[in-house]
Structure 1
Amino acid sequence: MAIITLIATILLPPLGVALKHGLDRDFWINLILTLLFFIPGVIHGLYVNFVRSGNALA
């Protein structure tokens, strides 16, 4: 599931965040960042899904 979340986070960041956390505050922040500029949305999505939650790909 981590690989699918990673791919979704890179291609469409709000989808990756929604897969992992649902439609909570992080999703809405990520959606706004992605709509403003794509790269901040990707960075925030990767941070929320893999750094802050403590999950690694391995």
Structure 2
Amino acid sequence: MSVWRVILSVLFPPLAVIDKGCGSVLIVLILTVLGWIPGVIAALIILNNPNT
């Protein structure tokens, strides 16, 4: 996980996970709309997962 991805996930979480697939982007987008902090947490979890 690069520093730029972490900064991007804090500023705009759906853009940080754009290359992880449509499902990840959709989940993070919904969580970001519901609340900024859940979107950031979800983006960081998805970026930290080494299997994807």
TM-score (norm 2): 0.84
Residues paired across the two proteins, number: 51
Consecutive unaligned residues in structure 1, runs of 5 or more: none
How far apart are the structure 1 equivalents of 2:50 and 2:38?
A: 18
Give the root-mean-square deviation of aligned CA atoms: 1.7
Q: Percent identity?
A: 39
Consecutive unaligned residues in structure 2, runs of 5 or more: none
TM-score (norm 1): 0.76
The amino acid of 1:6's aligned partner reads V
Q: Which runs of 4+ in 1 moved over 4 A?
A: none
